[in-house]
Amino acid sequence: MNLGRWMGVVIALVVASIVLAYLSLKRWTHLTGSTMGTTYQIHFEHNGYVGLSGLERDIEVLLQSINQELSTWNKDSWISEFNNSAVGVEVAVPDHVWKVLQCSLVIAEASGGAFNPASLGLTELWGFGAQKIEVRDLPSLATIQETVRQSDIGNLSLNEANQSLKKLSSGLQMDTSALTKGYAVDQIAAILERSDLQNFSIEIGGEVRVSGKDPNDRAWEVRLQVPVGYPHSAPVVVLDQQSIATSGGGQNYIQIEDALYTHIIDPRTGYPITRDQSLFSVSVISPACMISDALATACFVLGVEGSEVLMREFPNCEVRFILHERTPSHLVRNR
Ligand code: AMP
Ligand code: MG
């Protein structure tokens, strides 16, 4: 081989090693967008071998398919069609709905009905549904009681073998909004993990899941939201391969007479949780965001004492309460 050829080979090898070194360099990417009436933020560390456009597309397709199955705001979604189905008609259930429903039923049972994935009738009655009815007066007790009766989870009949569902009462309306965001976060985590990504955080509308380390190579931290005029600094939660989801009435509520009613409803009584109670918010930390999301909603209904009873059934989960009261014991732990 002459000198010219040798030089060519050497240059090709140098260029190849520079390209390989560049591809294996670690870098962080931030994806953001909107879904489920809110926004999402995804941060992850990767090298140049990861197909970013493929990942983005997979996440977009996932979010669209979850919405198409579970959005009660979309009248063509699977859940809206099920809600319009006639009593006794068996309807095949797609996979996302089935997984979310299984988790919902566990939390419904454990919470003694404080969590109910079939309470859209109540949500609509109080003006928090897609129909956006403006509620100025308290609904009558008879209407509330009838809606509670129609929304009883016992009116949702599952056929495990066929993965199908049927309604046993005409007014039963499914709504998994209390854990759909958490479910979507977990599913995005699964996409990132399939690409061997280890350091990431995923957040949809305040529900968060993290893995590994943050961009500063430290443990991930989440700062809890506190009420206006809160006398202490906002608590910071350090997460290790965990999720955190928060429920509260801080943002979504209506006023009727002198009371402020939040969008979280106690399905056992049919009345919303009022904002004048001492609880500002509940956050639940657990390995899976869907569980955190469902438990946070259930705990907001149950209040501090009831939540502590519920959380005993979930020993790998932790609950944090933010109370309105200006006392140093603002942070209550269940364990
Ligand atoms: P989250 O913000 O996760 O607490 O979810 C609140 C949403 O879940 C509401 O906007 C309703 O659509 C629905 N929801 C309200 N109350 C309940 C409840 N007790 N059990 C299950 N879902 C509920
Ligand atoms: Mg929730």
Tell whether ligand 1 has an atom less than 6 A from the beta carbon of residue 175.
yes
Q: Is 124 in the pocket of ligand 1 (CB under 6 A)?
A: no
For ligand 1, is residue 247 a contact (CB within 6 Å)? yes
Q: What is the pTM of this model?
A: 0.92
Angle at 98 between CA 178 and CA 315, to 5 degrees: 60
Measured CA to CA, the distance from residue 335 to residue 332 in angstroms comes to 9
The residue type found at 8 is G
β 253-256/164-167 pair status: unpaired
Query: What percentage of the chain's residues is helix, strand, coil (to nearest 5)?
Result: 40, 25, 35
Report the separation in Å between the CA atom of 264 and the middle of ligand 1, taken as the mean of its atom positions. Answer: 5
Distance, CA of 124 to CA of 131 (rounded, Å):
7
SS3 letters for 149-193? HHCCHHHEEEECCCCEEEECCCCCECCCHHHHHHHHHHHHHHHHH
pLDDT, one tens digit per residue, over 71-128 is 999 999 999 999 999 999 999 999 999 999 999 999 999 999 999 999 999 999 999 9
* CA–CA distance, 221 with 299 (Å, rounded to integer): 22
CA-CA distance, 253 to 262, in Å (whole number)?
A: 4
Nearest CA to ligand 1 atom 20: 115
Q: How far is the CA of 148 from the centre of ligand 1 (A)?
A: 15
Phi-psi region of 36 (alpha: psi -120 to 50; beta: other; left: phi over 0): left
- Mind listing the pLDDT tens digit for each residue in 225-271? 998 888 889 999 999 999 999 998 777 888 888 888 999 999 999 99
Residues 183/11, Cβ–Cβ less than 8 Å: no
Q: How far apart are CA 26 and CA 200, in angstroms?
A: 13
Q: Is the pLDDT of residue 136 over 50?
A: yes
Is 283 in contact with 234 (CB distance < 8 Å)?
no
Is the CB–ligand 1 distance for residue 119 below 6 Å? Answer: yes
Closest CA to ligand 1's atom 10:
263
- The pair phi, psi for residue 71, each rounded to 5°, is -80, 120
Cα angle: 143, vertex 83, 295; to 5 degrees? 80
Q: Hey, which of 177, 246, 253 would you mutate to test ligand 1's pocket, going by the most ligand atoms within 8 Å of its Cβ?
A: 177
What is the rounded average pLDDT of the residues 46-71? 95
How many Å apart are CA 226 and CA 248, to the nearest integer? 11
In this structure, the residue with its CA closest to atom 12 of ligand 1 is 177
Inform me whether the pLDDT recorded for 9 exceeds 60.
Answer: yes
> Which residue's alpha carbon is nearest to atom 6 within ligand 1?
178
Model confidence pLDDT, tens digit, residues 37-57? 999 999 999 998 788 999 999
Which ligand gives the minimal distance to the CA of 263? 1
Average per-residue pLDDT in the chain? Answer: 92
Residue 267 Cβ inside 6 Å of ligand 1? The answer reads yes
Q: Which domains are seen in the chain, by residue range?
A: 27-333 (3.10.520.10)
Ligand 1 center–CA 297 separation, angstroms: 6
CA of 265 to the centre of ligand 1 (A): 7
State the pairing for strand pair 156-159/164-167.
antiparallel
Over 90: is that where the pLDDT of 132 sits?
Answer: no
For residue 298, how far is its CA from the centre of ligand 1 (angstroms)? 8
Determine contact, residues 242/222, Cβ cutoff 8 Å.
Answer: no
Q: So what's the pLDDT on residue 325?
A: 66
Q: Tell me which of 79, 119, 122 to substitute to probe ligand 1's pocket, judged by most ligand atoms within 8 Å of the beta carbon.
A: 119
> Does 20 have pLDDT greater than 90?
no
* Contact (Cβ atoms closer than 8 angstroms) between residue 281 and residue 207: no
So what's the pLDDT on residue 332? 43
- Tokens linked to 268: 């056992």
Query: What is d(CA 181, CA 160) in angstroms, rounded to the nearest whole number?
Result: 24
Among residues 241, 227, 217, the alpha carbon closest in space to that of 292 is found at: 241
